[in-house]
Amino acid sequence: GENVEQHPSTLSVQEGDSAVIKCTYSDSASNYFPWYKQELGKRPQLIIDIRSNVGEKKDQRIAVTLNKTAKHFSLHITETQPEDSAVYFCAAISNFGNEKLTFGTGTRLTIIP
């Protein structure tokens, strides 16, 4: 089955700097890659997603890039703000075979004011 690895597990960046979180996946059939943000005590919320037919997607300060050949995708947050502090999860799913969403282990991002 699918295996998603996420790095780093913790990340601290100065407010205003950029943060990058990377994920790799094992199933080459995976073709949908969402990113979720989970603040302390709250539910995971989708912040951005990308499908395999595009290499990059951007939404204001957040962008995701996908390299299908290397089987990795990354989340980029620019001009970080204190409210970006949270745990971020990447995930992957394939629409072939077992269509279950497999999550990475999460990255705890801390923005230092």
Partner 1 sequence: KAGVTQTPRYLIKTRGQQVTLSCSPISGHRSVSWYQQTPGQGLQFLFEYFSETQRNKGNFPGRFSGRQFSNSRSEMNVSTLELGDSALYLCASSRNPGISDTQYFGPGTRLTVL
Q: Rule CB under 8 A: say whether 105 interacts with partner 1.
A: yes
**Contacting range for partner 1; rule: CB under 8 A; set: 18-26, 63-71, 78-86, 100-108:** 100-108
Subset of residues 36 to 55 that bind partner 1, contact rule: CB under 8 A = 36, 42-46, 49, 51
For partner 1, the closer CB: 14 or 105: 105
By CB under 8 A, tell whether 3 contacts partner 1: no
Full DSSP string of the chain: ---EEEE-SEEEEETTS-EEEEEEES-TTEEEEEEEEE-TTS--EEEEEEETT-SEEEETTEEEEEETTTTEEEEEE-S--GGG-EEEEEEEEESSSS---EE---EEEEEE-
32 interacts with partner 1 by CB under 8 A? yes
Among 20, 22, 101, 110, binds partner 1 (CB under 8 A): 101
> Does the footprint of partner 1 cover residue 26 (CB under 8 A)?
no
25 conformational bin, left if phi > 0, alpha if psi -120 to 50, beta if neither: beta
Interface residues with partner 1 (CB under 8 A)?
Answer: 31-32, 34, 36, 42-46, 49, 51, 89, 93-95, 98-106
